[in-house]
Structure 1
């Protein structure tokens, strides 16, 4: 025991322990998908930070844990970014430094029940603050948000319809904090138990109050996944395989056919022959075909990734250009400064161009679809806006072919369950090489996934539901609520510091008693 204590008081071993503790939550995400582990995974990290000898050391524990968390959740980027991923994790891991300091401030030593109770509200709010900052697209986007680990838990998905993935993250962190208090702070066990009971009661109330989507229709959607296509002219070969797979859908009463991201590598205005072949597929299957074009545009400069709808008569004119691009994968931030990364990884040789707005397309007999491209399915606000704009069905077109033998395809496919539950709209996640998946309006999985080893065209019977979920109506309300909690904390701490300053330091030297001299009598 003394050896462990001595080891944890040394800066470098302690930093390594913090990084390992921060990496533990990755086991709750796909592919392991140990969703239950998320509720205790932060425990070692919390216990380490609360025992830090100083506030600065607790901040380092938070920083190192954030580094470990980011490397673990994004480890599949290592073949693309090489050592650069560690630099990114070091920079973004600093976002958790204030969180580590707060852990020690509220739970360090022998905290009073009041401080422990405050921790159960403040620490989850601070975690949401970190997720808000790192969710900015320029910093990598909201990949690996802690609440996303609950994508296959029915009650959690129901809560997502109330407050989105933000609410799930808050609840997961709150349970972790309560568990850490129960284990380590005997004097504060009562508020910890009370907090767990209150959290369970509030979650149950929200679960029972949240309106369930009412199914009022069905559509048959086909996902075409061509699988890995290698060698020269892979764009032409992929198109041929997608065409062959789509022909098999004839006679299956399909309403819409969806191809994955970058399924067409040529601008269809420049290649009218390809547009005619897709239109022929639409006539053969009796359904519009949504493809994704990754090519240089003929009508404007630059390369775009675009969802393009093709009907029996050809291009319908409906087009959505991807708005949020993957940093380094599709563009390089500050290319004049960071352009050198193209020499050490698979960073974009040329920046893709951004679209200007989201689009809702009308398909067949009035079905309204809202397309998203790859990385965009990680952003809760984008699917929420599509639902607000009248989309009946959400569509994600993706390609994770660069990460075939990693956890990335499963992680990406799981995000669609959350977007469906948040909006009350079914979602189709169609990829080139897997994993493709379809979810109902409550986030429930519809049929088996198309894994990374599959090349197939599969038809899904998708229920449609309408109505407005609380999340769509009220938006990301857990986030401003968390920021309000942090603002109240800052005001309280400022008032406390001001009060201590006004009271002044305690005297360090005892006052000297004055000795009254006896009067000297004359004559003596």
Structure 2
């Protein structure tokens, strides 16, 4: 009973600490320790049941609080499903950690259990759940440069590894004090621990020195427009015309202010997702508003977002559209539509989950897996829409193809009053460091702003407030190691997880075979010894 209580309380406390790390810069220092402590603790659990209890306790505590905002947007059943799936992942991690510890695995292999399960969860099913990644917590710490060095996924591995190394001795002492489990070969672990400490600290120091992306080639003047949503800020569909009118008025007012102060011309104007009630190529009134905005800004390219008709009835495309002096230009189609938010998997069978699913009459289709940058005058834009920023492939592919500025258009209106907008903005900051690019974020009612390539926030608009602001974005043409690593990180993580599972399965089969062929005389000698 005491051992179970210690396992549950310790895992729950670590989960809550990790959850707070996504909201507090101070707590982010302790995120690797929280993960490392539970990994070591699970590896030394006396029984499989103990490890499973710890993994489930951690998962339920972390995911139920970290994803609380899902209730406001989709409903409690969807929230419960995500929490259950997340907890299943941490339970698997705990069981793998216990199996790895029982075989005296290295600290790196123990950390890889976290990395592999995180990578698998972020990719599958239905596009995965890339929220709550340990690598994101590197922001606002001395090791934030790891993101530019190893990407978000690789940083998760390095932080988990460092956490295991640092917490191994304290957790071992606690395990002895509570008699949870005595380690079998402390000498082997001591040697591995010393090597791991040296490598981890060296990696952190090297990565920390690479935070600065270097000198920029030039700058661009970008106007961020945040039109806001009337009422409580959550009902975009009920206020579509008012939202369009607000963005048009803010753009025209900003343009008049710039002309009156004789400031340089704009290079780009960005409107957020959900700023248009219809596709301007189809709706004449929307097209007129867009063209009026382009004229008002001195023919500066305008990046807008609209829902376009899909190739078949009942489908749609969530697209960014560049509109210039000569009319519409290039388009980007959202690569990662949100299940149950923008399309309904198995629609006929799951309509009972929430009445809000009726608000999604059409299923959005995904865009190209490796999109190209959008040319906007002298700029080459890497574009992402809303949750696209949580995935390394979309923005990273455009940066590798030559994009010198990242723009994210988003609508977090359904999550107004929750922690979701701040969590997404944190992910955006991590992606800026990973890609080594300044990032312009335009949200319909917050959080909007300019994120520097080192992850710092250079400008931020007030949330749930109509606002427009001109920012000076720096342009870069170098490619970070992180954006190259991120291309393969999750694939390698899943492969490492698969190899670990195969190794454990083979070891179990060999032990069973050896036990089966053991003779009575062998057992007698073993008993006598």
Q: Deviations over 1:346-403 (max 9, x none)?
A: 8734322333452422213x21112211010100111110112221211110011111
Structure 1 position 239, deviation (Å): 0.9
- Which stretch has the larger CA shift, 190-199 or 369-378? 190-199
- The question of 1:88 aligning with 2:101 is answered no
Give, in whole Å, the separation in 2 of the partners of 1:424 and 1:84: 35
- The question of 1:470 aligning with 2:493 is answered no
Give, in whole Å, the separation in 1 of the partners of 2:392 and 2:157: 15
Is the contact made by 1:410 and 1:435 (CA closer than 8 Å) also made in structure 2? yes
Give, in whole Å, the separation in 1 of the partners of 2:3 and 2:56: 21
Matching residue of 2:154 = 167
Give, in whole Å, the separation in 2 of the partners of 1:299 and 1:184: 58
- Which stretch has the larger CA shift, 386-395 or 177-186? 177-186
Structure 1 position 222, deviation (Å): 0.9
Q: Deviations over 1:458-494 (max 9, x none)?
A: 1110111112222334544444554565566456542
Structure 1 position 439, deviation (Å): 1.7
Matching residue of 2:216 = 215
Give, in whole Å, the separation in 2 of the partners of 1:344 and 1:461: 40
Q: 1:302 to 1:433 in 2, by over 3 A?
A: same
Aligned counterparts, 1:450-461, within 5 A: 450-461=461-472
Give, in whole Å, the separation in 2 of the partners of 1:492 and 1:134: 21
Give, in whole Å, the separation in 2 of the partners of 1:31 and 1:389: 34
Q: 1:47 to 1:121 in 2, by over 3 A?
A: closer
Give, in whole Å, the separation in 2 of the partners of 1:411 and 1:23: 15
SS in structure 1 of the partner of residue 351 of structure 2: helix
Is the contact made by 2:117 and 2:497 (CA closer than 8 Å) also made in structure 1? no
Structure 1 position 496, deviation (Å): 7.2
Is the contact made by 2:119 and 2:153 (CA closer than 8 Å) also made in structure 1? no
Matching residue of 1:307 = 320
- The question of 1:443 aligning with 2:447 is answered no
Is the contact made by 2:56 and 2:87 (CA closer than 8 Å) also made in structure 1? yes
- The question of 1:182 aligning with 2:169 is answered yes
Aligned counterparts, 1:27-426, within 5 A: 27-30=20-23, 34-42=27-35, 45-46=38-39, 48-50=41-43, 52-80=45-73, 81-107=75-101, 115=104, 118-136=105-123, 138=126, 140-153=128-141, 155-156=143-144, 158-185=145-172, 187=186, 188=189, 191-208=192-209, 212-230=213-231, 234-250=239-255, 251=258, 252=263, 253-286=265-298, 287-294=300-307, 296=309, 302-314=315-327, 316-343=328-355, 348-356=360-368, 358-364=371-377, 366-426=378-438
SS in structure 2 of the partner of residue 199 of structure 1: helix
Structure 1 position 48, deviation (Å): 4.9
How does the TM-score come out when normalised to structure 1? Answer: 0.84
Is the contact made by 2:211 and 2:454 (CA closer than 8 Å) also made in structure 1? no
Give, in whole Å, the separation in 2 of the partners of 1:70 and 1:219: 39
Structure 1 position 333, deviation (Å): 1.6
Is the contact made by 1:293 and 1:305 (CA closer than 8 Å) also made in structure 2? yes
How does the TM-score come out when normalised to structure 2? Answer: 0.84
Is the contact made by 2:438 and 2:453 (CA closer than 8 Å) also made in structure 1? yes
Give, in whole Å, the separation in 1 of the partners of 2:238 and 2:512: 73
- Which stretch has the larger CA shift, 178-187 or 41-50? 41-50
Structure 1 position 453, deviation (Å): 3.5
Is the contact made by 2:17 and 2:27 (CA closer than 8 Å) also made in structure 1? no
Give, in whole Å, the separation in 1 of the partners of 2:474 and 2:221: 9
Give, in whole Å, the separation in 1 of the partners of 2:99 and 2:519: 23
Q: Deviations over 1:104-155 (max 9, x none)?
A: 23446xx9xxx2xx34111221112112211126154311211112233464
Q: 1:292 to 1:477 in 2, by over 3 A?
A: closer
Q: 1:33 to 1:140 in 2, by over 3 A?
A: farther
Is the contact made by 1:427 and 1:438 (CA closer than 8 Å) also made in structure 2? yes
Is the contact made by 1:210 and 1:470 (CA closer than 8 Å) also made in structure 2? no
Superposed CA RMSD in Å reads 3.1
SS in structure 2 of the partner of residue 446 of structure 1: strand
Give, in whole Å, the separation in 2 of the partners of 1:491 and 1:334: 33
